[in-house]
A and B are shown apart, each in its own frame.
Chain A
Amino acid sequence: MLAHILQNLPQVLIDGLTLGVVYAVVAIGYTMVYGILELINFAHGDVFMTGAFIGAIVLFLLMGMGFLSAMPALIVFLIVIVIAAIATGMLGVGIERVAYRPLRRKNAPKLIALITSIGISFVLEDAVRFIAELKTGNYIVTAPSMFNHKFNVDVHSVIPFFNNATFQASFLLVLIVTVVMLVSLDLFVNKTKWGMAMRAVAQDRDTASLMTINVNRVISVTFFIGSALGGATGVLFMIQYGTIDPYIGFILGIKAFTAAVLGGIGNIRGAMFGGVMLGLLEMFAAANLSVITHGAMGAEYKDVFAFIILILVLIFKPEGLFGKAVVEKV
């Protein structure tokens, strides 16, 4: 059994990392909004999904105009991801303006905002489905394949008890782009004036407003960044996995949210770590569950395995791995 687990480790690491960084970036969207508004924005998974579809539309348009053959694929990819990010960023800002801000102004209970976010989630899913069916006759869309060159990692000849692993060129793209996004976000939040304002608003909104900070504008910026990152990740998902449908945001969103909780909700670095950890656990389970359980459970039980680990972690550390135990103010 151990031999099998070890043999597969290189491939598990590659696949787990790919999925994990996707979770990590989406998790950041949840954690940023929670940190600043104490709102679980359930629509965020669907902003990710919308990003994937906007990316697909832009890609098809560019293809129709002959760009795909005329330009290096990397340039096309950059155009697609930037457009999708800006569009989803604005979508996020719009959602906040239309749905959440009026509730905040009326001091509505947090539960109302939560229910609203679930409503927005359905609206986005159905709107995207409607448009996709109208244009293509099918809501499942297969993106033109890009970056599908396969690489073989010859681990075996270096360390004999590992099997060789393979990955697509898109894996590198996903990894590089997400790492760039994660590092830039971290620098933005911790080193810039607006990042500092964002942290101040998250810690004490009323007092932040006394510092000449326009709290609503900071909230808009937060939604823009979180949603743009989510939308860009949707594009990465489309390129890595090829097929998208309007419901990919639901499960992935819940997992990313779980990753955010695992890392300590509200904590950006925690969300990054939680996402990568969840991706690795899931892929580890997919590769090894049937061996571990002697065939009783197949790879399709990977989510159960991953979530049992999460529940165990949260039982012993309810505030999440990087969270602070909340002290109630008297």
Chain B
Amino acid sequence: MTDTTANHFLEVNKIDSFYSQIQALDGIDLFIDKGEIVTLIGSNGAGKSTTLKSISGQVRPKKGSIIFEGKEITKNQAHQTALLGIAQVPEGRRIFPRLSVRENLQIGAFSVKDKNVIAERIERVFTYFPRLKERLNQKGGTMSGGEQQMLAIGRALMMKPKLLMLDEPSMGLAPIIVEQIFDIIKEMNKEGMTILLVEQNAYQALQIADRGYVIQTGQIVLNGKGGELMKNEQVREAYLA
């Protein structure tokens, strides 16, 4: 089903990535089309985060290529890829703990020069996460896990990305908060945002995803429509039990 001839929004072609000597990715192949929610599921250490980091430029693949909107970005540094419109909400949220909530949002729009545009985007983030408005002057590190996740997503939205990549947004959060966050992801997608969602929480991820990939020890072992994968025997046994 993987289509290598057509031009997709994002194409990851057979990449190998390493952490020092250890191979984390072994020929990962995936694509995303504009407007999709695609999820990448798999267990701990399977290579989900490394895939995201390879796309965002935090890890440089040794082999293969990554193509975004027809441009090769395989060897980009992270800030260059971000400038092209790929935002990554990192695993564990990685809020700047000693910047205020306002500053955390402003820094998301670092590439934007116009102050009015930045102010408009902050207002836009508040429509998704009204709670952040009450916390504007608080230091990022003093917020609860759920609030930090909202801030991390809000911060990524500040750069008005073309592709939003989320790395385990449900991690360590209460089920009710996870539900809220997934609702918002769905809503953002409805408004046209293309999303790559990495999750251990396979059930919830597959429910909102158009398509999904299953990754195991650095390789894609299965892919298909979200609903199909949810019914797949292997997937049910390994991730939905």
Write the residues of chain A forming the contact surface with B, with a CB cutoff of 8 angstroms. 193, 196-197, 199-200, 203-204, 206-215
* Contact of B82 with A212 in the complex, beta carbons under 8 Å: yes
Residue B90 at the chain A interface, CB threshold 8 Å: yes
Interface centre among B82, B96, B106 (most CB of A within 10 A): B96
- Report the bound CA distance from A208 to B108 in whole Å: 9
Partner of A209 from B58, B99, B108, B155 at Cβ < 8 Å: B58
- Considering only residues 138-162 of chain B, those with a C-beta below 8 Å from chain A are 155, 159
**CB-nearest residue of chain B to A329:** B92
Residue B110 at the chain A interface, CB threshold 8 Å: yes
- Report the bound CA distance from A203 to B96 in whole Å: 6
A residues within 8 A CB of B78?
A: 206, 209-210
Q: List 6 A-B contacts (CB under 8 A).
A: A197-B110, A203-B99, A210-B58, A211-B110, A212-B79, A212-B111
Residue B98 at the chain A interface, CB threshold 8 Å: yes
Partner of A214 from B79, B108, B159 at Cβ < 8 Å: B79
**CB-nearest residue of chain A to B141:** A203
B residues within 8 A CB of A197?
A: 107, 110
Write the residues of chain B forming the contact surface with A, with a CB cutoff of 8 angstroms. 56-58, 77-79, 82-83, 87-88, 90, 94, 96-99, 103, 106-108, 110-111, 155, 159
* Contact of A203 with B97 in the complex, beta carbons under 8 Å: yes
B residues within 8 A CB of A211?
A: 79, 82, 107-108, 110, 155, 159
* Contact of B103 with A196 in the complex, beta carbons under 8 Å: yes
- Report the bound CA distance from A147 to B195 in whole Å: 65
* Contact of B79 with A215 in the complex, beta carbons under 8 Å: yes
* Contact of B99 with A196 in the complex, beta carbons under 8 Å: yes
| Known A-B contacts A196-B103, A212-B159, A214-B79; A204 and B96 likewise in contact (beta carbons under 8 Å) | yes
What are the nearest 6 A-B pairs in CB distance? A209-B78, A207-B94, A212-B111, A212-B82, A203-B96, A214-B79
Interface of A (DSSP majority class): helix
* Contact of A204 with B94 in the complex, beta carbons under 8 Å: yes
B residues within 8 A CB of A212?
A: 79, 82-83, 110-111, 159
- Report the bound CA distance from A213 to B78 in whole Å: 9
Distance (whole angstroms) from the CB of B127 to the closest CB of chain A:
21
A residues within 8 A CB of B96?
A: 199-200, 203-204, 207-208
| Known A-B contacts A197-B107, A199-B98, A212-B111; A207 and B82 likewise in contact (beta carbons under 8 Å) | no
- Report the bound CA distance from A117 to B90 in whole Å: 33
**CB-nearest residue of chain B to A197:** B110
Partner of A203 from B58, B98, B155 at Cβ < 8 Å: B98
**CB-nearest residue of chain B to A214:** B79
A residues within 8 A CB of B98?
A: 199, 203
A residues within 8 A CB of B82?
A: 209-212
- Report the bound CA distance from A206 to B88 in whole Å: 11
* Contact of A196 with B107 in the complex, beta carbons under 8 Å: yes
- Report the bound CA distance from A200 to B110 in whole Å: 11
A residues within 8 A CB of B83?
A: 212
* Contact of B97 with A210 in the complex, beta carbons under 8 Å: no
Distance (whole angstroms) from the CB of B240 to the closest CB of chain A:
29
* Contact of A199 with B108 in the complex, beta carbons under 8 Å: no
- Report the bound CA distance from A197 to B96 in whole Å: 11
| Known A-B contacts A199-B98, A200-B96, A206-B58; A213 and B110 likewise in contact (beta carbons under 8 Å) | yes
B residues within 8 A CB of A209?
A: 57-58, 77-79, 82
A residues within 8 A CB of B108?
A: 211
Distance (whole angstroms) from the CB of B40 to the closest CB of chain A:
18
**CB-nearest residue of chain A to B103:** A196
Partner of B56 from A196, A208, A210 at Cβ < 8 Å: A210
B residues within 8 A CB of A193?
A: 106, 110
Kindly list 6 other residue pairs between chains A and B, CB separation below 8 angstroms, not including A208-B107, A210-B90: A193-B110, A196-B106, A203-B99, A209-B58, A209-B79, A211-B79
B residues within 8 A CB of A214?
A: 77, 79
A residues within 8 A CB of B107?
A: 196-197, 200, 208, 211, 213
Distance (whole angstroms) from the CB of A276 to the closest CB of chain B:
24
* Contact of A213 with B99 in the complex, beta carbons under 8 Å: no
A residues within 8 A CB of B103?
A: 196
- Report the bound CA distance from A193 to B103 in whole Å: 9
A residues within 8 A CB of B90?
A: 206-207, 210
Distance (whole angstroms) from the CB of A322 to the closest CB of chain B:
13
Distance (whole angstroms) from the CB of B152 to the closest CB of chain A:
9
**CB-nearest residue of chain B to A201:** B96
Distance (whole angstroms) from the CB of A141 to the closest CB of chain B:
43
Distance (whole angstroms) from the CB of B9 to the closest CB of chain A:
19
- Report the bound CA distance from A215 to B58 in whole Å: 12
Distance (whole angstroms) from the CB of A223 to the closest CB of chain B:
18
Distance (whole angstroms) from the CB of A195 to the closest CB of chain B:
10
A residues within 8 A CB of B79?
A: 209-215
- Report the bound CA distance from A170 to B57 in whole Å: 52
Distance (whole angstroms) from the CB of A30 to the closest CB of chain B:
19
- Report the bound CA distance from A210 to B99 in whole Å: 16
- Report the bound CA distance from A211 to B58 in whole Å: 12
**CB-nearest residue of chain B to A190:** B103
